[in-house]
Amino acid sequence: MSERSEVKRDGAKAQKNSGRGDYQKGDAKWKQFVVDYKEASASFTLNKPVWSKICTDTFKVSRDMHPALKIIIGTDSKVRLGIIEWAVLEELIQFWEDNNV
């Protein structure tokens, strides 16, 4: 599965020439997120420099959007994981708790 098909699967809007130029950073925009997609057959290493680049790319697109990383691991059976900032997760949980009492 390609990055393009993952973007389509998510209903996200692909960034033109992502990775090139100064302003169309990240692979796609989805909701309030600039998403970077990474595919790996068995594992993916997330470290501070990788996350820092995703954050920097997001801020170049818009300070009002949040960075997100979607990792697709596997060849036959795929596992899809989303990485977001902890503060955003806390907001989502608070919203859910406020609206599902």
pLDDT tens sequence across 10-54: 999 998 755 444 444 568 999 999 999 999 999 999 999 999 999
Cα–Cα distance between 69 and 44 in angstroms, integer? 11
What's the pLDDT score for residue 72?
95
Over residues 64-92, mean pLDDT: 96
Cα–Cα distance between 45 and 23 in angstroms, integer? 26
Q: What is the pTM of this model?
A: 0.84
Max distance between CA atoms of the chain, in angstroms, equals: 46
> Does the pLDDT value for residue 2 go beyond 80?
no
Our CA angle for 37, 40, 41, nearest 5°, is: 150
Q: Do 16 and 25 meet the contact criterion of CB atoms below 8 Å apart? A: no
Half-sphere exposure (Cβ direction) of 68: Cα atoms closer than 13 Å: 20
What's the pLDDT score for residue 17?
58
Q: Do 3 and 27 meet the contact criterion of CB atoms below 8 Å apart? A: yes
Average pLDDT, the chain: 89
Our CA angle for 7, 49, 66, nearest 5°, is: 45
What's the pLDDT score for residue 101?
74
Residue extents of the structural domains in the chain: 3-99
Express as a percent the part of the chain with pLDDT over 70: 89
